[in-house]
Structure 1
Amino acid sequence: MNLRDLEYLVALSEHRHFGRAAAACYVSQPTLSTQIKKLESDLGAPLIERGARGVLFTMAGEQVLARAKTVLAGTEEIRAIARYATDPRAGTLRLGVFPTLAPYLLPHVVPEIRRRLPDLRLLLVEERTAELTDMLHAGSVDAVVLATPVEDSFESLPLFREDFVLAVPSGHPLAATSGPVTTGALRGQDILLLAEGHCLREQALEVCSQVGAGERDGFRATSLETLRHMVAAGVGITLLPQLSVAPPVPQYDGIDLIPFADPAPYRDIALGWRRAGVHGGLMTELADILRTATQHGPRPLGE
C-alpha cells in the first residue's frame, strides 16, 4: 500500500467511475483498476462493488476511504511544512469564506493580498459556516473568515465589525424616514430571512427576538441576492450587511436602504486557523490585510 493507491481510492470516491477517476489522476483506466485491486489484495478485504450502476464502496471501503483522506491531508501538511520552512510567503493558502460575506469582501481584499504577498498562491473556498469549520478541522482549508464566535479549538484574530442596514421596498412607510431608525422600528414587522444553515439567519433572528419582530412565513431565501430581489418586488423587508450594499455592489431599483441608529445591530468578523497549522506565521499579516482593505463601512477590530 502506498500514497498513490490511496489517492486513486479517493478519486474513485469523488467520481464514482473508473474512467473519470483515472483521467483525474492522469493514469490509464487499467492502471487505476489494477492498483485498486492490488490495494484490496494487500488489505485482504473488498473495498469496491463493481456493477452496472457504477462504483459502490463496501462498509470496509467506506472506513478505509475516511482514513485515506486523513492520511492524504496529513501528507499535504508535511509538504506544506517543507514549503513553509523554505519561504512562508510563497506557499499555498486555502482560505474559506462564508457566502453572505465572500462576494462582497473578496473584491476588496484579493488585489491587496496579491500586491503584498505576490508569491502566495491563494485558493478560495466559499461554504457555509458549519462546512468551513468541518473543513478547517479536516485540513481541507488552512484558514477561515467567520462571524464570531469562533470555536475555542482554533486560533483567531478579530478583523472588523459590520453593521446591518434595513432594506425596505420603495414606498414602504419606513422609507419615508428622514434619518436612521432604531431597531424598535422592526417591532411587529415580518422579516425576510435566509434559509437554515446561514449564520446571517441566526444573527437576524436574534435581532428580531430582541425587538418583537417575526419571520415572514412561507419564504426562506438561499442567497442575499434573492432577498434583495424579494424586497425590490415588495414582498417584505430584510436586514443586509454593510458590505453587501457598499460599492462596487450596484444599487437595486425599488429598494431603500435605511441605516440603524446606534447601537446598530452588527456582526463581528474574525480570521480563524488551526493551532498546529503551518501557516500561523502568516495569519497576523493576512488579518491586517483583511482589516484594512475594505474602504466602505466596516470598522476594523484588533488593530
Structure 2
Amino acid sequence: MELPSLRQLQYLISLHDHQHFGRAADACNVTQSTLSSGLKELEATLGMRLVERTRRVVVFTPVGVSVAHRAREILLRTRELALLGSGPLAGVLQMSVIPTIAPFLLPRILSQVRAHHPGLEVQIQEEMSREGCANLSSGRSDCLLLALPYDCGDFEYVTLFDDPIVVALRADDPLAAAPTIESRDLAQDKLLLLHEGHCLRDHALKACRRPDQGPRSAPGASIHTLVQLVNAGMGVTLLPQMAVDAGVVAGTEVVTRPLTGGEARRIICLAWRRNSPRAEGLARLALTLRNIDQGASSTAPERRLGV
C-alpha cells in the first residue's frame, strides 16, 4: 500500500493555512508548480479530491479539510518523535509571545536564556492570545508566554511572576496628587484601553472593577499608543508594571500610581501541551525565566494543569 509522504502532507497543511497556492509554496520554500504537483500526487495516493482549484480562490472539499487536520496531527507527532533523540532543551524551540509581553520582557530574558541553555535556539512568534493558544494546540508553537487569567485551553503551565496593573496619567492630573488611586475615581469617559482582542484590556477592566463595560473613548492598538494618548491629555489608562519598568513612559509627562484592590494584576506564565515530549525541558526553562525575573531564586515554580 502506497502511503503519503510527509512533504506532501506539509504542502496540504500550508495550503490550508494560507488559502493561496503562491503563499503556501513560499512558506514551504518550493515553487508553486512543485507544491501543486505534490498535492496532485497526494490526491492520487489517497484516491480522493482534496482541493477544488479555481482561478481566484482555494476551496477545500469536506474530506480535504478532514485530511488537513489529520495531517497536522501526524506532522506534530513526527516532530515530537524527532525531538526524543535530543536533549530536553536543545534544538529549535518555537515560542509564541503575546504583544503586551514581548517588547518588555524579551529584551531582558533572551540573552540570559542563551547563556543558561546554549544548545537551545529560541524562535519568537509575536501574536495575540487567541492565535497563540491555537498555534500551541496545533503544534505550530512549542510553548506560549501569556498573561492569566485567560481561557486558553487544557495546557500545562508554570506561573512565572505577578505583573501589577497601574494607573498612567499626566503629572498635572489632579488624581496624580494621591499616592494610590481608587478604581471608582477613574472616569468612564476618560479611560483609554487597548482594542478588543487584547487580553490586557480584559485584565484592566477587571482591575478597575468594570468587567461588563468598556470605555467610550477611542482605544489604542498598542501600549505605546496608549501612553502617547495619555501624554496628549486625552485621558488615563492602565498599564502593566513590566511596561513601566521597561521605560514605556520615559520622556513623557506621564506618571503612574498604584491601583487599589487585589485584582490589579495579571499573572505571567509559560504554557505548553500536556503531553509534549519537551515538558521536562520546558519546566526547566520556566524556572530559568522565573530566576531571571527574581534574581537567582532556587524555588521551583508552581506547575499546574489547564490554563
Shorter-normalised TM range: 0.7 to 0.9
**Unaligned 5+ residue runs, structure 2?**
303-307
Structure 1: runs of 5+ lacking an equivalent: none
Change (3 A) 1:213 1:36: closer
Task: Give the TM-score taking structure 2 as reference length.
Answer: 0.83
Residue 232 of structure 1 contacts residue 253 of structure 1 at CA under 8 Å; is this kept in 2?
Answer: yes
Assess if the C-alpha contact under 8 Å between 2:51 and 2:61 holds in 1.
Answer: yes
Of the structure 1 ranges 110-119 and 18-27, higher mean CA displacement relative to structure 2 is found in 18-27
Deviates more, 1:192-201 or 1:103-112: 192-201
- 1:48 is the counterpart of 2:51: yes
Alignment of 1:110 with 2:110, yes or no, is yes
Contact 2:133 2:153 in 1 (8 A): no
Q: Which of the numbers 37, 40, 48 marks the counterpart of 1:37? A: 40
Q: CA deviation at 1:11?
A: 3.0
Q: Structure 1 CA distance, aligned partners of 2:230 and 2:249?
A: 15
Partner of 2:164: 163
Matching residue of 1:291: 290
- 1:260 deviates by 3.9
Shift in Å at residue 110 of structure 1? Answer: 0.5
Equivalence for 1:198: 198
For residues 206 and 19 of structure 1, what CA distance do their matches in structure 2 show?
44
The worse-fitting range, judged by mean Cα deviation, of 27-36 and 231-240 is: 27-36
* Number of corresponding residues: 295
The answer to whether the 8 A contact 1:18-1:29 is kept is yes
Q: Report how far residue 21 of structure 1 moved.
A: 4.1
Query: Shift of residue 54 of structure 1?
Result: 4.9
Say whether the 8 Å CA contact 2:183–2:209 is kept in structure 1.
no
What's the CA shift for 1:218? 4.1
* Residues 1:170 and 1:111: Cα distance change in structure 2 (over 3 Å): same
Partners of 2:96 and 2:145 within 8 A in 1: yes
1:91-240 matches, cutoff 5 A:
91-149=91-149, 153-177=154-178, 179-186=179-186, 190-209=190-209, 215-240=214-239
Which string of whole-angstrom CA distances, capped at 9 and with x for unpartnered residues, describes residues 221-242 of structure 1?
2211221121111111011011
What per-residue deviation string (whole Å, max 9, x for no partner) do you get for residues 21-43 of structure 1?
Answer: 44544445444333222222222
1:6 aligns with 2:22: no
Separation in 2, partners of 1:21, 1:135? 17
**CA apart distance, 1:189:** 6.6
| Superimposed CA distance per residue, residues 131-186 of structure 1 (whole angstroms, 9 cap, x where no aligned partner) | 22222222221222222347673222221111122111242111233x33344543
Shift of 1:100: 0.9
Shift of 1:18: 4.3
Offset at 1:62? 2.5
Which has the higher mean CA deviation after the structures are superposed, 55-64 or 164-173? 55-64
Q: Does the residue aligned with 1:221 lie in a helix, a strand or coil? A: coil
| RMSD (CA atoms) | 3.0
In the TM superposition, what is the alpha-carbon distance from 1:109 to its structure 2 partner? Answer: 0.7
Residue pair 1:189, 1:214 contacting (<8 A) in 2 also? no
Q: Which amino acid in 2 is paired with 1:159?
A: L
Letter in 1 for 2:166: V
Describe the shift of the 1:45–1:243 C-alpha distance in structure 2 as closer, same or farther (beyond 3 A).
same
Change (3 A) 1:103 1:63: same
Assess if the C-alpha contact under 8 Å between 1:168 and 1:256 holds in 2.
Answer: yes
Report if aligned partners of 1:190, 1:214 keep a CA contact under 8 Å in 2: no
Q: Give aligned-pair identity as a percent.
A: 38
User: Distance between the aligned counterparts of 1:169 and 1:107, measured in 2?
Assistant: 27
d(CA) in 2 for partners of 1:72 and 1:115? 31
